[in-house]
């Protein structure tokens, strides 16, 4: 979910069933309490949408609540996961996969937003997706490669001699 949306861990923990905007031609989730308690709509990947639809079918099969105010992700104790538990589960998955546990869930947010910038070169899109107040915060995700710079310089100064 982190990789397909770029949400913060507390935003993921806060998701409820009614926050899903999938189907009806939409691929998005509502973030009701983002940083600064701000609301935003976050676009998600088609792949994440399909995983969420599978997850909802599974929740239905085991009898979990699909009410709009029901937590999307719940523990075995039938409570919404807290941020700390999400981070713990992420670290455990990393270890099981044989990957370095030095990465945190926030690194997936960085990866998502950096890849989004690389594909679009649209800083405003990054700002909206990330829920940043300041565009300067969004600029942290704008890693401009040497090949990008070479292409721009070549294109710009092609006709000059």
Q: Is 95 a catalytic residue?
A: no
Question: Of 10, 21, 32, 35, which one is the catalytic site residue?
Answer: 35
Q: Is 35 a catalytic residue?
A: yes
Question: Of 106, 121, 124, 133, which one is the catalytic site residue?
Answer: 106
Q: Is 84 a catalytic residue?
A: no
Question: Of 40, 49, 112, 132, which one is the catalytic site residue?
Answer: 132
Question: Of 81, 109, 112, 117, which one is the catalytic site residue?
Answer: 109
Q: Is 112 a catalytic residue?
A: no
DSSP 116-153: HHHHH--HHHHHHHHT-SSHHHHGGG----HHHHHHHH
Q: Is 106 a catalytic residue?
A: yes
Strand partners, 16: 71
Question: Of 8, 40, 49, 112, which one is the catalytic site residue?
Answer: 8
Q: With beta carbons less than 8 A apart as the criterion, state whether 85 and 32 touch.
A: no
Q: With beta carbons less than 8 A apart as the criterion, state whether 74 and 64 touch.
A: yes
Q: Is 96 a catalytic residue?
A: no
Tallying the residues shown for the chain, one arrives at 161
Report the alpha-carbon distance of residue 26 to residue 41 in Å, rounded.
Answer: 11
The catalytic site residues sit at: 8, 35, 106, 109, 132, 141
């Amino acid at each position: 979910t982190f990789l397909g949306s770029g949400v913060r861990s507390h935003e993921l923990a806060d998701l409820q069933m009614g926050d899903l905007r999938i189907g009806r031609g939409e691929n998005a989730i509502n973030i009701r309490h983002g940083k600064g308690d701000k609301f935003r709509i976050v676009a998600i990947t088609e792949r994440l949408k399909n995983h969420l639809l599978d997850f909802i079918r599974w929740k239905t099969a085991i009898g979990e609540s699909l009410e709009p105010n029901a937590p999307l992700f719940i523990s075995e104790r039938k409570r919404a996961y807290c941020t700390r538990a999400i981070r713990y589960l992420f670290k455990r998955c990393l270890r099981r996969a044989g990957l370095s546990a030095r990465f945190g869930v926030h690194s997936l947010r960085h990866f998502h937003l950096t890849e989004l910038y690389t594909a679009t070169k649209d800083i405003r899109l990054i700002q909206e997706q990330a829920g940043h107040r300041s565009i300067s915060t969004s600029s942290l995700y704008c890693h401009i490669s040497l090949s990008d710079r070479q292409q721009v310089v070549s294109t710009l100064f092609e006709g000059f001699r």
